[in-house]
Amino acid sequence: MGKCIICGASVDGRICSSHEEDVVFEFRGDDPDQLVSNRFYTGIVDGYADFGVFIDVSSNVTGLLHRSELDRRIESLDWEPGDRVFVQVKNVRDNGDVDLAWSIRQSDREFRGALVQDGTDEREPDSDDSDGDDDGGAVVTHTPTPDDPRGTDGSSDSGGSGGSSDTGGSDGSGGSAAAVAETQEAETESDDGDDIEAIRERNQATPEGDLERVAVGTLLDRVGEEVRIEGEVTAARQTGGPTVFELRDETGIVDCAAFVQAGVRAYPGIDTGDVVRLDGEVEVRRNEIQVETEALVALEGEEAETVRRRLADALTDEARPDELATLGGHDAVAAVDDELLDAAEAIRRAVIESRPVVVRHAATADGYVAGAAIERAVLPLVREEHSESDAEYHYFTRRPLDDPVYDMDAATKDATRMLQDRDRHGEKLPLVLLVGTGSTVDSEDGLELLSVYDAERVVVDAATADPEIADSVATLVNPGLAGADTDDLTTGALATVLSATVNGEVADEVAHLPAVSYWEGAPDAYAELATDAGYDADRLAELREAVALEAYYQSYQDKRELVADILFGEEGAALAGHVAEQFREKLETELDTAAANVEEREVDGRTFATLDADAYSHRFDFPSTTLLADELQRRGDRDATVVYGTDELYVRADGDVDVRSAAGDAAMAVPDAGVTAVGVRQGRVEYLAGRRDEVTDAVVDAVAGQLG
């Protein structure tokens, strides 16, 4: 029999079951089955994969920390192969595979004890076992937990993970954990019989005393001090160690760690949206400011209302832009200046309130330019607002759409993800920003699904819009609905103005983007902006073509870094040139084949080109059918082009064509063909495959009638 190194209770081994998760183990075994589930172990980073990180728990045992187990995106981890890290063993499978879980405690000092596990035997580390940790201290073998949460000497412990202190003599060599346990026996009894509520009551207090409230924005200058802060809880997440509350006041946001037991929810009565008062010590964890919570209480009545008013006033002052950015001075943009200011305020407010911003845009060159412009403006604001190194991946997401319609499929994916993030990570529901999509009734069902959960919806679109959609969104920015002429306005140009309004500091960085979004005929004002920024016509064409090609491949991925390198990076010219060359080669090869098989016809005095895309194009390779239709019409001397496939066709015309009306006429002419216009902005009509030829002829006739 031995004694637990934490509480001194009699146990087989060196740690009791109540404190097993308070200790970090160094594994010296060679069999995965010797590992103990739920224990924390040191490990060495072996390497990365798309699905997680491989960790060597010993020289002969490697486990997988799957990306789903992380409390952050895998891309934001700063671990390098060879780094010493801390993980929790979640499960050892029958085949010997080891599943690992994330540990928020990434230092020896954050555990209350350390043991070596030789096979199945446990022992305290010898002096030769300790090589120190990233805090520069020796391995800690025991840290007492007195009733006073500030420690027996009145100084603050490390808080969120139970704290640690050297228990040895003045020479710093460390002492006998058993001896320390024995000397503490009279005042610190075993927690074996305690329930969680008893531990919470003993270790957690209510803020009281004369501490003066300080602003979160001043915490960097108060490291090591005890402080009091007041604000709103914007997220509450449970880790394998402490509970982490994200607290926002009028000056910023900070993580506050509260510890009861490893993996046990602290302050269960406090949740997202509560206004609280918190006392704790300011510390630096992994180069980030964090408050180790000593006392926490929810405010009520007049106290809560005072804090909420303070936050609301500060939020309004900070979120509303002073004026609209004046990029290009387009008349159509000026027609929606108030709506653009509303949209900019909504975006800035979401960042300040720690609500994720989800941008949905079409997987086209114009769509990617629009999304990248918004991204360029928002990411610096997120980094400024949040201290976490991976905040920009948590609070901003760009998700391209294969079709420029926000349908039930897209909305269901967004709703599923936002509800998972809310329930698993305590995140607020997002602001969903639809750029170049969502402004027609085709998107109404998807938008209404989000409205069930009160997720804010904002639509910014330069193309076709339906007035009815205004009832389904909080803000609708569409110059066409405002009566402006939008023939020479792209969504990329409109979104770039919004970008510079959201964050004026990026105005110069995005000034060339409006010109990039035009395939041809960019307004002079936008061309001049690009020229002044150092982008000539050839460079603009390369950027446009490179983005168009990358938009096609892995179209559902944001490709954040790659797109940013093309549009903004120092190596952008070389990268864009390389990708643009591939764009031209692939497009020209496809056009040569298509042009040789185009069928020319004349209907009601109008010339048409029709192409059987199934027979005379590579429909599942670049270019897309939509881009092929665009180029055939752009390069041909004809009134309209219709590219048709098995069960869908695309209409392109020089004049105005109402695709819904054309589809309606075709449906009347071929009533049993299931004809419907499903992508108005794409000029897309769907039908039953068996009536393809009849529907194509009927659509051509309907379009000719409109052009006539």
Tokens representing residue 318 in the block:
């900070």
The mean pLDDT of 2-23, rounded to a whole number, is: 83
Which of 661, 96, 256, 676 shows the shortest CA–CA distance to 442?
676
DSSP 430: P
Whether residue 2 has pLDDT greater than 60: yes
Is 198 inside a domain boundary?
no
The answer to whether residues 697 and 658 belong to one domain is: yes
Q: Indicate yes or no: pTM above 0.85.
A: no
Q: What is the CATH number of the domain that holds 668?
A: 3.10.310.20
Say whether both 526 and 627 belong to one domain. Answer: no
| Residue 62 reports pLDDT greater than 70 | yes
**How wide is the angle at C-alpha 488 spanned by C-alphas 486 and 489, nearest 5°?**
65
Examine the pLDDT at 177 and tell me if it is beyond 90.
Answer: no
In a domain, residue 194? The reply is no
**Does residue 211 belong to any structural domain of this protein?**
no
Provide the pLDDT confidence category of residue 146 given band limits of 50, 70 and 90: very low
Same domain, 417 and 294: no
pLDDT value of position 178: 34
CA distances from 333 to 52, 337, 371, 490 (A): 45, 7, 17, 10
∠ CA 624-628-630 to the nearest 5 degrees?
115
Distance CA 439, CA 442 (A): 8
For residue 344, being part of any structural domain is answered with yes
Which residue, among 366, 374, 373, 682, has the nearest Cα to 548 in the 3D structure? 366
Q: Which range among 154-163, 304-313, 460-469 shows the weakest confidence by mean pLDDT?
A: 154-163
pLDDT at residue 385 in the model: 83
pLDDT of residue 411: 95
* pLDDT above 90 for 451: yes
* Neighbour-count burial of 453, counting CB atoms closer than 10 A to its CB (0-12 exposed, 13-18 middle, 19+ buried): exposed
Domain end (from 168, 184, 200): 184
Q: Which long-range contacts (CB under 8 A, 24 or more apart) does 17-20 make?
A: 17/192, 18/190, 18/191, 18/192, 19/112, 19/113, 19/191
**Residue finishing a domain among 579, 606, 628:** 579
d(CA 680, CA 658): 8
pLDDT top residue among 80 and 613: 613
312 lies in the same domain as 327: no
What integer pLDDT is reported at residue 390 of this predicted model? Answer: 76
The reply to whether 524 and 383 lie within a common domain is yes
* Confidence at 67, pLDDT banded by 50, 70, 90: confident
Residues 345 and 319: beta-carbon distance below 8 Å:
yes
Cis peptide before 207 (omega within 30 of 0): no
The reply to whether 269 and 312 lie within a common domain is yes
Number of structural domains the chain divides into:
4
Q: How high is the pLDDT of residue 375?
A: 97
Supply the pLDDT for residue 208.
64
Write out the two tokens for 610. Answer: 């029709």
Q: What is the mean pLDDT of residues 225-229?
A: 95
The first and second tokens of residue 279, run together, are 């006392």
pLDDT of res. 591: 93
CA distances from 236 to 298, 354, 423, 532 (A): 14, 12, 10, 47
| H/E element, 421 | helix 408-425
615 and 469 within one domain: no
- Res 129: pLDDT: 54
Nearest to 516 by CA among 410, 367, 396: 367
Structure tokens at 362: 């079409």
Residue 640: pLDDT band by 50, 70, 90 thresholds?
very high
- What gap in Å lies between CA 583 and CA 591, rounded to an integer? 12
User: Which is more confidently placed, 307 or 120?
Assistant: 307
If asked whether residues 253 and 112 sit together in one domain, one would say no
Let me know if residue 443 belongs to a domain: yes
CA quadruple 631, 632, 637, 639: dihedral sign: negative
User: In this predicted structure, which of 142-156, 533-547, 581-595 has the lowest mean pLDDT?
Assistant: 142-156
At 647, the pLDDT band (50, 70, 90 cuts) reads: very high
- Residue 425 has a pLDDT of 75
Closest CA to 242 of 223, 225, 221, 264: 264
Does 651 share its domain with 526? no
- CATH number of the domain encompassing residue 305: 2.40.50.140
Report DSSP state, residue 205. Answer: B
How do 396-401 and 357-362 pair as beta strands?
parallel
- Single out the residue of 21, 225, 208 nearest to residue 113, CA to CA: 21
Neighbours of 688 (CB within 10 A): 15
* Same domain flag for 25 and 55: yes
Q: Of 196, 499, 272, whose CA–CA distance to 372 is shortest?
A: 499
* Together in a domain, 68 and 84: yes
The domain in which residue 286 lies consists of 216-316
Which DSSP letter does residue 614 get? H
pLDDT over threshold 70, residue 179: no
Collapsed DSSP state (helix, strand, coil) of residue 398: strand
Q: Return the exposure string of 41-58: e unless at least 16 CB atoms fall within 10 Å of the residue's CB, then b.
A: bbbbbeebeeebbbbbbb
Question: Is pLDDT above 80 for 297?
Answer: yes
Q: How far apart are CA 632 and CA 630, in angstroms?
A: 6
Mean of per-residue pLDDT scores for the chain: 84
Span 318-331, pLDDT tens digits: 888 989 998 888 99
Segment 32-49 mean pLDDT: 90
pLDDT at 165: 33
Predicted confidence band at 197 (pLDDT cuts at 50, 70, 90)? low
**Mean pLDDT for the stretch of residues 631-656:** 92
Examine the domain organization and report whether 301 and 328 are in the same domain: no
Which pairing describes strands 2-3 and 10-11: parallel, antiparallel, or unpaired?
antiparallel
Residue 701 has pLDDT above 60, yes or no: yes
> DSSP characters for 106-147?
-SGGGSSEEEEEETTEEEPPPGGG----TTS-PPP------S
| pLDDT for 133 beyond 80 | no
What confidence tier does 52 reach under pLDDT thresholds 50, 70, 90? confident
- Which of 4-8, 129-133, 531-535, 666-670 has the weakest average pLDDT? 129-133
pLDDT at 156: 35
Give 377-403 pLDDT, tens digit per residue: 999 999 988 867 678 888 999 999 988
Which among 294, 316, 338 is the end of a domain? 316
Per-residue model confidence as pLDDT tens digits over 235-273: 888 876 788 899 999 888 899 999 887 678 899 999 888
Is residue 586 domain-resident?
no
Looking at residue 170, what is its pLDDT?
Answer: 33
| CB neighbours of residue 600 within 10 Å | 10
- Letter for the amino acid at 177? A
Residue 669, pLDDT > 70, answer yes
